[in-house]
Amino acid sequence: NTLRYPSETIAAIATAAGRGGVGIVRISGQNLAEFARQLCGSLPSPRMAALTSFRAADQSPIDSGLILYFPAPHSFTGEDVIELHGHGGPIVLNLLLRRCLDLGARLAEPGEFTRRAYLNGKIDLTQAEAVADLIDAASAAAARSAARSLQGEFSREIDELLDALTRLQALTEATLDFPGEEIDFLESANAFGQLEELQNHLDAVFDRARQGRLLQEGLHVVIVGQPNVGKSSLLNCLIGDELAIVTPIAGTTRDIVSGTLHIEGIPLHIIDTAGLRDTDDEVERIGIDRAWREINRADAIILLVDSRSGVSESDRKILARLPQQPAHLIIHNKIDLVEKDDCRAERQENGNSVSLFLSAQTGEGVELLRRELLRIAGWHPAENVFIARERHLQALAQTREHLAQACSQLPQLELFAEELRLAQRALASITGAFTTDDLLGKIFSQFCIGK
Ligand code: GDP
Ligand code: ZN
């Protein structure tokens, strides 16, 4: 396994900014012995912590701490790696880092250590992504799923699918050598049974990945409705004491306000829009245009109405303009203001729209809304979720598409084989074969520095 990456030595502070008991500077590259000699006298034995003192160019002490040496290829990056464990203060850590840069290291770019690990074959692409997702995990469920991906559970599933696909391809290619009897040959080898099994396995993996994407990326929910029906109140009530920051999205006076809450570990991004009404006010107009942009990329839309008036003529106009695709929730708010039996109807379902009744003020009925949002998300609690991203889901969907195409090409075996090849390509892109530099750049730039 040769190193494909030019091993410029890189260094970065690997621990979080701020004060802590211990702070770590990580260095990765080649020939780190000279580096260690200048810094603290010598390299310790591989993988053994040694207490030492880190010295400046004039030999004055910068800090004392532990040095660890992980020789290539048995390190995180696959290159020689040194870790300097010093005291976790920002100034002292920066002095230590500065010293490493003076000795010839370059400051690592975000994600560069992990990128080298990937390029050196230490981890595949889904594992590299899982590193970032584990660090960014906003809930325990998301962290558990990321850890599962990091340990290679997702990659193993993909590899199994690839194996099955490759076997099927080999069988098909071999068959092409027996013109005239292809289909008989494939039938006797149970090729179609294998294909069906492959498709079932793919569906199962897709479902787990879809749950993982939900944990990672969450659901975008937009609240629309007339002014004063209680949109802001509902947002506040949902966010509750979650300590989520309600942030105005800057840009217009009629700001769009959004907040994130977690239900069973799934991030729900709730967006409160400006009231959607016809207006001549230029500024309000801008807010409304913005609201429509949010609506068009939402996973679910809440139309909020006042239960005293129900769905009005203007609400019907809004409903008529809503995109059909994401689910609609028609929420009757302020049920505390109407007679008990008047309007406290049960959940009503009508095509892709569901009606619920609640009070953002008293909180009555809000739990039903939370459960409804989970239902819309398609969440079913499972222990074996692995973290996944939109990119993975798209590749899995493409694979599925090509397998379906393959079937429809029969009995034209060449076309069947070609679709299998395309399916294989889509599948392999998940773990990293056939990836472009663009994609790699995009994935690794989302990391924090030092990882
Ligand atoms: P928005 O313009 O749609 O964002 O509406 P707001 O959230 O600003 O609420 C408008 C008014 O309705 C405020 O005075 C709220 O206190 C009140 N309000 C909101 N929800 C309820 C509710 O469920 N019951 C009652 N009684 N008042 C509510
Ligand atoms: Zn409001």
pLDDT value at position 248?
44
233 is in an annotated binding site: yes
The pLDDT of residue 123: 93
Q: At 314, list the tokens.
A: 């203007």
Which pLDDT score, from 0 to 100, does residue 101 have?
A: 94
Q: Measure 375 CA to ligand 2 centroid, in angstroms.
A: 26
**Nearest atom of ligand 1 to the alpha carbon of 337:** 26
Distance separating alpha carbons of residues 375 and 329, to the nearest angstrom: 12
DSSP string over 17-84: SS-EEEEEEEEEES-HHHHHHHHHSS--STT--EEEEEE-TTS-EEEEEEEEEE-TTSSSSSSEEEEE
Nearest CA to ligand 1 atom 2: 228
Q: Give the distance, in angstroms, between the CA of residue 338 and the centroid of all CA atoms in the same chain.
A: 43
Task: Tell the residue nearest (CA) to atom 18 of ligand 1.
Answer: 230
Mutate to test the pocket of ligand 1, among 233, 234, 356 (most ligand atoms within 8 A of CB): 233
Instruction: Find the radius of gyration of the CA atoms of the chain.
Output: 28
Alpha-carbon distances, residue 61 vs 68, 171, 284, 410 (angstroms): 18, 67, 62, 74
- pLDDT over threshold 60, residue 247: no
Which ligand is the nearest neighbour of the Cα of 307?
A: 1
- Give the ligand 1 atom nearest the CA of 229: 3
Tokens 């993982």 belong to 212
Tens of pLDDT, residues 58-99: 999 999 999 999 999 999 999 999 999 999 999 999 999 999
Residues 270, 235: Cα–Cα separation, whole Å: 7
**274 annotated as belonging to a binding site for a ligand:** yes
pLDDT at 297 over 90: no
Query: 238 CA to middle of ligand 1, Å?
Result: 14
Question: Does 21 carry a binding-site annotation?
Answer: no
Q: Determine which residue's CA is closest to atom 25 belonging to ligand 1.
A: 334
Q: What pLDDT was estimated at residue 345?
A: 64
Q: What is the ipTM of this complex?
A: 0.97
Residue nearest atom 20 in ligand 1 by C-alpha distance: 230
pLDDT band at 333 (very low <50, low <70, confident <90, very high): very high
Mutate to test the pocket of ligand 1, among 226, 228, 257 (most ligand atoms within 8 A of CB): 228
Judged against a pLDDT cut of 90, whether residue 164 lies above it is answered with yes
Strand partners, 286: none
CA of 321 to the centre of ligand 1 (A): 24
Backbone angles phi, psi at 211, to 5 degrees: -65, -40
Q: How far is the CA of 121 from the centre of ligand 1 (A)?
A: 56
Q: Which residues form the pocket of ligand 1, taking CB atoms under 6 Å from any ligand atom?
A: 225, 227-233, 275, 333-334, 336-337, 359-361
Locate the ligand 1 atom nearest the alpha carbon of residue 226 and give its number: 3
Residue with tokens 């306000």: 257
The segment with the largest mean pLDDT, out of 19-23, 66-70, 336-340, 445-449, is: 66-70
- What the chain holds in terms of domains, given with CATH numbers, is 10-122 (3.30.1360.120), 134-214+392-431 (1.20.120.430), 218-377 (3.40.50.300)
Which atom of ligand 1 is closest in space to residue 359's alpha carbon?
Answer: 23
State yes or no: 129 annotated in a binding site.
Answer: no
Is the pLDDT at 251 greater than 50? The verdict is: no
Return the ligand number nearest the Cα of 234: 1
Task: Starting from the CA of residue 274, give the closest ligand.
Answer: 2
Q: Is 355 helix (H, G, I), strand (E, B) or coil?
A: strand
pTM (2 d.p.): 0.73
Residues forming beta bridges with residue 10, ordered by sequence position: 28, 106
**Residue 217 pLDDT exceeds 90:** no
C-alpha 247 – ligand 2 centre gap (Å): 13
pLDDT of residue 278: 64
Q: Ligand 2 centroid vs 305 CA: distance in angstroms?
A: 13
Pairing of strands 348-350, 256-263: unpaired
Top pLDDT among 277 and 406 is at: 406
Contacts for 155 with CB less than 8 Å, ≥ 6 apart: 124, 126, 127, 149, 431
Condensed to tens digits (0 to 9), the pLDDT of residues 352-365 reads 789 999 999 999 99
Q: Which ligand is nearest to the CA of 255?
A: 2
pLDDT in tens, 301-322: 999 999 999 999 989 988 888 8
